[in-house]
Chains A and B, each alone.
Chain A
Amino acid sequence: MNKTWNNKAWFMILPAMLMVMISAVIPLMTVVNYSVQDTFGNNEFFWNGTEWFREVLESDRFWGALVRNFAFSFTILLIEIPLGVFIALHMPRKGIGVSFCLVLMALPLLIPWNVVGTIFQLLCRTDIGLVGYAIASLGIPYSYAADPKDAWITVVVMDVWHWSSLVVLLAYAGLVSIPDAYYQAARIDGASRWSVFRYIQLPKMKRVLIIAFLLRFMDSFMIYTEPFVVTGGGPGTSTTFLSIDLVKRAIGQFDLGPAAAMSIIYFLIILLVSWVFYTVMTSNDETA
């Protein structure tokens, strides 16, 4: 490369650099700082090495939350991706129905997390909530505040309600980009409905589905507001996810060191899992 070295170019990316520094790098460094130091107040810090990391990694509390996190992400992905694809497949491709469906689908996405939480908290109350009351009147014992299973189901349903639309919209975008000729060719070839899905729609949706998958994984792995509002992590620790546990540690107990160490571990796990997913899911492309 014999490109001319242009110093002016560096000035152009300076604002972006500053933004990244302020919003990401500096906070991250602060957290790293906290994770390797101990403090007894008065702004006095002592070097603590990897002690906090060991403490976090050896605690059952951490592993319990981690397992719950994976279980949660796994469950909602298993529901949201097929459900989203299914709905997208049945949405109209042309006519006035299109905009109607799109608006309908976009609605849940416009509602803030804590509002969703509040809605469900009210909806599922057995005394005054529409859903909770209906279930209770069917004679099914249901209480998200008392039964861990019910709490778990409530949180999952809440997430599915809130976020399946995102998968629908992405999958729909992938579907409408398929030229008509493909469907016509498939009809001529005598392909079944399933073959059309398997050999035309799914391959063409693959790229957007990878994006949907990653977005939903990362987002659900970081879930905080909704369970915090509805169950507060309970009953017991049944819906205490890493994020909730983290806040408990940092704010509730003011254990800054372990909380910082936990943040870093948390961050690395998301990074690692996302990277693994992405690599696995896109690996077929190169071997074609």
Chain B
Amino acid sequence: MLELVNVSKVQGGQVHIHPTTLTLERGSLNVLLGPTLSGKTTLLRLMAGLEKPTEGRVRFDGKDVTGVPVQQRNVAMVYQQFINYPAMTVYENIASPLRVAGEGSEMIDREVKKVAELMRLTPYLSRTPLSLSGGQQQRTALARAIVKKASLVLLDEPLANLDYKLREELREELPKIFAASGSIFVYATTEPSEALLLGGNTATLNQGRISQFGKTITVYRNPRDLITARTFSDPPINTHTAVKDGKTFVLAEKEAGGKGKPHKITIPVPQHLAAIADGPVTLGLQPHHLSLEEPFEKAPTLKVRTQVSEIAGSESFIHVLFGDKRWVMLAHGVCNLDPELDIDIHLDTRHLMAFGADGASLSGNAG
């Protein structure tokens, strides 16, 4: 069990990590999700002991390890770049942490072969890393981290430099591999979809602050605040300010394209938001809860103007203008709409989120 207790990092007068308290269980997979420069790498380095916290304590299995350097902890790290020993074979690369630990050659052979099988590297054991594909090189680096049986394995955007197809394959395999070992895994990524595919727990990180930590799907479905919701949606969550007035939300918005005077648009308040107090709120709706077809009878509609259609293979992201705000709608399959069309889109208000003035979520069970 790894515990961070009020850990913070200040460097040159700049706060990199605000006081953070976090408990990671043994055998768990934990995702650190946040945009670039949100502090993911710093947090990983603090966990590893590569950096000393300015304040706070780091405990491992109840033992205080604050300030204990990384060499004296049982930590493994995998980076975005494929870091292997170029002159050694894959076999020797995987064996290297065990050789350092002074294990017997029989034991090494057994462990290396076991991990190679798990990482599907068996056919490549006698080759050197540079003769392998990017995916295989990263598998080798991962194998080295796993064979070490480190109690803490830190992965810093390990798939960022791979083709999307390889990324897809490794993402699918990683949870299995992680589950097979008993270590604590911490996986930093910028991509919400990666967090969702990996499952486990997710901590959303923004400007050096963890906004929420919990089961990945729970954090995604019930973000505690607007920052979490924004961090955990790609494309970005669609938001708009509104005023709750009894049974309706009132939005003031101009014609599509932002011309003319704002006029009022009303949306009936869905069941799950009925209890919140009247007054100004920020509404949020995920891109896949906007659609061209009615999600349910009499679903509210909005007039928007299309901008660009991004096609991602089996899905399409339609960028639209609602007033002068840029929204994104997710459509299934290939949907290529011409730009500058005025269309009606439907809102699946069953999943509408509402946030108060301080950004805190008002929805009970949205998602």
Contacts and interface: CB of A to CB of B under 8 A. Distances in A.
B102 interface: no
A11 B12 CA distance: 23
Contacts of A1: 12-13
A2 interface: yes
Question: For the side of the interface on B, what is the size category?
Answer: under 10
B54 interface: yes
Contacts of B13: 1
A41 to B, nearest CB: 57
Interface string A1-45: 110000000000000000000000000000000000000000000
A6 to B, nearest CB: 11
A2 B54 CA distance: 9
B10 interface: yes
Nearest to B52: A4
Interface of A: 1-2
Q: Is the interface of A mostly helix, strand, loop or mixed?
A: loop
A1 B14 CA distance: 9
A182 B13 CA distance: 40
A1 B13 CA distance: 6
Interface in B1-21: 10, 12-13
B13 to A, nearest CB: 7
4 contacts: A1-B12, A1-B13, A2-B10, A2-B54
Interface string B52-81: 001000000000000000000000000000
A2 B52 CA distance: 13
A160 B235 CA distance: 62
Contacts of B54: 2
A2 B13 CA distance: 8
Nearest to B10: A2
A266 B25 CA distance: 68
A45 B113 CA distance: 80
Contacts of B10: 2
B134 to A, nearest CB: 21
A131 to B, nearest CB: 50
A165 to B, nearest CB: 32
B55 to A, nearest CB: 10
A1 to B, nearest CB: 7
A2 B10 CA distance: 8
A128 B95 CA distance: 68
A186 B107 CA distance: 59
A1 B12 CA distance: 6
Contacts of A2: 10, 54
